[in-house]
Structures are given as structure tokens and as C-alpha cells.
Amino acid sequence: MSTVAKSHEIICYLHQIMRRKQLYVFGGIVILVILTWMLSCTAETHSLTSGRVKIALREAGHQLLMKNQDSTSLILPIIQLNESNYELSFNSTLSFQPGDLVAAITQSLEKAQLSVNYRVEVLQCKDNEVAYSYEIRRNKENTIIPCSVRTLPVQCYTIHLQFLDMDVSRSKTNNWLYILIFAVIIFLLVYVMRKPKSTDATPFQNDDYSEIGSFQFYPEQNKLVKAATEISLSKKECELLEIFVAHPNQIIKRDELTKKVWEDNGVIVGRSLDTYISKLRKKLKDDETIKLTNVHGVGYKLEIN
């Protein structure tokens, strides 16, 4: 192999390595962007939801105080106990009908366009026992609102609101995140594991034959096969075609061809090269995508489209 050919192969190899490194970097950036976007969107969504829940509960608390004709008592700061639980409390005692509580919270949450799957518990401040509770579901058949007309006695209460589908929403978000990351990883693995392709139209090769256009070239058997038709090749034709197949769409110098096929075997050749090239052209002429062209004064090139 000439120095020029070796240099070309080294350059192609380095190019493939650089392309793979670029792909790794690109894949890493894609995963990082997806993670950042999903996490920021999730954080922003939770922040917005938390603010709206607090406003809705404060409005519900105001309605309860108004039902008690109480315009002086204060609604204490709404406390977010965890991701899906909130606490509403007052600085004074009060009494209310459970139906008023249900109506106040339902109206406030609907105005805020918040989840309709939630549970409400009214806890007694003195012992933290549940004085009243109910559950709202999208499916009204699963909604439970007991004893809504029995007035609760005057005392200190805290009201806990728990959203029942917060965890489900987060789970769905996480599922999409995992799917996106998995898809990117699979893409990288498929790309890296597949056989690298040269920028030239390199013929397909396996252990037995090479595909040149519509031909199958069997160098060990000195033959071409096209549509079940065998075309015999002489030893010299086969050796020349092997060189061209190894360097498709590249100019091979006359000196290199004669050295490899004739001089290395102790034979001095004159015009024999041109004769064998002409024979190869005739045997490849049935495929218009293949051309064995003469580069005047330099050598020959196997053009594969």
C-alpha cells in the first residue's frame, strides 16, 4: 500500500473517532438539556401549584369565617406540610356545618383550576383527633361526604387538605423523563455499535464476498455473480478488482497496480494492465452504477454510485 493510501486510511480512522466523540458529547448535552428542562418544569409547576393551593385555602377559610359572621378573626399562614398536604388554621375558635366546609373548599379549588381528587380532614387542636373528613373524586361514585348537616361544636380546628393525585402526576413526569433518556441512550448505542461507514461508497463486504453495485464479488473463487449468473475472472483480473474494491472512488496509480499484480511476482509488464482493465470493464458493463475509468497519465478509478 502506498504512503498516500496509508495516510488516507489514517485520516479516515481519525475522522471516525472524532465523529464518535462528537456524538458522545452531543448525546451528553441532549441528556443534560432534557434533565434540566424536566426538572425545571417540574419545580416550576410545583411552585405555581403550591401558591394557588394556598390562595384557594385562604379563600375557603374566609368563607367559613363569614358563615360564622366573623370578620375579625385571622386566618393563620397556610402551611405546606409536604408535597401534597396543606394546613389551614385560625387564631380563634369557630363552629361550622361540614356542608359549608365542603362548599367553600370545592368552590375555591375549582376557581383555582386545581385537582379534584383530594381528601379533607378537620382536626381538633386539643388532641389532634379527626372531627370530620370527606373525600372528593373525579368519579362521583367514589366521592364520600358523610354527615354534612351536623354542626361541629365551637372549638379550635385545623383543616388538612391532601391531594391524592400529586404523586401520580410526578410519576407520569418521571416516566416521560426516563423514556426520553432511554431513547437517547439506545440511539447512542446503536450508532456506536454499527459498522463505521467510509465517506466513500465502500462496497458491502462479508467473509465470503463483496457487493459491488449489483454484483457479488468472490475473490477466493475468482468470480462475479449477478442475478444468479456467474462471470469467471482470471487470476490477474481478480487481483486487480480486489485492489479497486479496497479503494472505491479513489485513483489507483498505474505504478501501484503493476507493482502489486505483476512486479511483486517477478514479472515485468508492459501494456498488459490496460488489457486486463479493458476485460474488467466488459464484465462490469451490465451495471451502470459502476465505472472503471481511466485518469489520463495517472491511473484508474473504480467509481461506484
Q: Is 186 helix (H, G, I), strand (E, B) or coil?
A: helix
Low-confidence ranges of the chain (pLDDT < 70): 1-28, 30-31, 33-48, 115, 166-177, 188-189, 191-207, 264-271
Phi-psi map region of 228: left, alpha, beta (phi>0 left; psi -120 to 50 alpha): left
Judgement on whether residues 25 and 43 belong to the same structural domain of the protein: yes
pLDDT in tens, 215-234: 888 888 889 998 878 899 99
Decide if 57 contacts 89 (C-beta within 8 A). Answer: no
Domain identity same for 144 and 267? no
Residues 32 and 60 in one domain: yes
- How many domains does the chain fold into? 2
164 with 34, same domain? yes
Q: Are residues 87 and 139 in the same domain?
A: yes
Instruction: Identify whether residues 193 and 263 lie together within a single domain.
Output: no
Q: Which of 141, 165, 199 is the last residue of a domain?
A: 199
What was the pLDDT predicted at 172? Answer: 52
pLDDT of residue 38: 62
Pairing of strands 204-205, 130-136: unpaired
pTM: 0.44
Domain that holds residue 211: 201-304
Long-range pairs, 40-47, Cβ under 8 A, ≥24: 41/173, 42/170, 42/173, 46/83
pLDDT of 76: 95
The answer to whether 203 and 240 have CB atoms below 8 angstroms apart is no
- Residue 21 has what pLDDT? 62
Do 212 and 193 share a domain, yes or no?
A: no
**Do 189 and 213 fall within a single domain?**
no
pLDDT for the residue 52: 87
What is the β-pairing status of strands 299-304 and 290-295?
Answer: antiparallel
CATH number, position 207? 1.10.10.10
pLDDT of residue 26: 65
The residue from 199, 217, 248 where one domain ends is 199
Q: Are residues 185 and 218 in the same domain?
A: no
Q: Do residues 227 and 104 both lie within one domain?
A: no
| Residue 219 and residue 191 in one domain | no
Lookup result for grid cell 490496460: 274
Give the domain-ending residue among 199, 218, 233: 199
Q: Say if residue 49 is in the same domain as residue 15.
A: yes
List pLDDT tens digits, range 36-91. 666 655 544 555 578 889 999 999 999 999 988 888 999 999 999 988 899 999 99
